[in-house]
Amino acid sequence: MPETQRAGGPQGAVELKLDLRSPLQSAEKLQDKDSSFLEGSASELPVLEKTKGITAFQALIHLVKCNMGTGILGLPLAVKNAGLLTGPLSLLAMGFVACHCMHILVRCAQHFCHRLNKPFMDYGDTVMHGLEASPSTWLQDHAHWGRHMVTFFLVFTQMGFCCVYIVFLADNLKQVVEAMNGTTISCHNNETVIPMPTMDSRLYMLAFLPFLMLLVLIRNLRIMSILSMLANISMLVSLIIISQYIAQDIPDPSQLPLTTSWETYSLFFGTAIFSFESIGLVLPLENKMKDTRRFPAILSLGMSIITALYIVISVLGYLRFQNDIKASITLNLPNCWLYQSVKLLYITGILCSYALQFYVPAEIVIPLAVSRVSKRWALLLDLSVRFTMVSLTCVLAILIPRLDLVLALMGSVSSSALALIIPPLLEITTYYSEGMSPLAIAKDVLISILGFVGFVVGTYQALDELIQPGHPATFSNSTTFI
């Protein structure tokens, strides 16, 4: 087992870039680079406690935040598409499977850390070494393809979420401003409000750009945990406000269907599966913890909290509004300042969340660019690439029509692959030569099939919406698009 050394040694334990590095850079090269934002080693073997890094509580905050996005606002409509009984049970099952796949990824990464005597292992490297350990000669020869594929999926998925966050910020602020004149103090009457036209939502997107550029300058997960805490508090308060309203005067639910047809269930599946998308940040969080032995418990606790929140909000929202439930539950709330504050709180939470979603693709792309220049230009190039990537997400959000459906189409491929298809197959390739029970193999194959079904269903749903425009958007990480 390698002993921890100070930064600057040939095998210094200070990881000088994020665990999700460029696939073209070796771990040894990155360890020799100096950086001001990483202050702890990467994931050491489980018995090693780091003197610096994020605490278990900070890891829990990040884990909850990267799951609790805007997707929870659309889950009541998803439950309507699945049925009052089938919906919550499906959410519970999907939360369990997603958590299990995250545990598989962490366990495989730690396995190769032990075997290869490495201090850390990112998602792409873990998949590459898993393919090299497979009994198939063809997979061994093309193992580097697996790393490149995972890297592409991670960058695309996280950048896609950043684009959707910008659209969410602009549209919700626009809705609040347009309804401001008709917003009242009393929440007893939910009268229809005629919005006052304001500037185009694309101008709101540009207005957020300077703030986003400042946020992405934060590159330390310990400092970023403050933003995650603020985002969690904002979203938690808004969910409490929503919950206290939807828990009142719930109509008789006896007429609500317990289950629905497979056609409408596919809409639920496509929405819900993306709500559990945080696997891209699992290894970065585990690698930055002071004591990685506590991470499995933190992972289980965080996913349990998220799953419980999803079920409670989705069921209460469907019970309260029944067939009148909107694509985003905020659209069912009265137009008074108390409930308009829900949108403002969510705007604050999503604004703080942007930096965390941006963290993964930035630390994949930037080290690759910086490695090609001298240290003299490293900082300038780092900032240039960082600002360019932020501007790219804003430009895509402005230029691409029906961005929600385009991202749903591509995200159904990358998200399903990252969260459900790859981890169980990785477990098979990693442990098959060491002996796996037929039951474990069957379990992994079944989960991968489930992920593939999610890919097919999500692709079909997005294509159907693109071919037949005018349907309401139901992308899980966005609200209603005007």
For the CA atoms of 52, 55, 60, 66, what is the dihedral angle to 10 degrees?
-20
CA distance 303 to 99: 6
pLDDT in tens, 258-291: 888 776 777 777 677 767 767 777 888 888 888 8
**pLDDT tens, residue by residue, 343-362:** 888 888 888 888 888 888 88
Q: What is the pLDDT of residue 293?
A: 84
- The pLDDT value recorded for residue 15 is 36
> pTM for the whole thing?
0.74
Residue 455 has a pLDDT of 80
Name residue 164's amino acid. V
For the chain, which ranges sit under pLDDT 50? 1-51, 192, 470-482
Whether CATH 1.20.1740.10 fits 27-467: yes
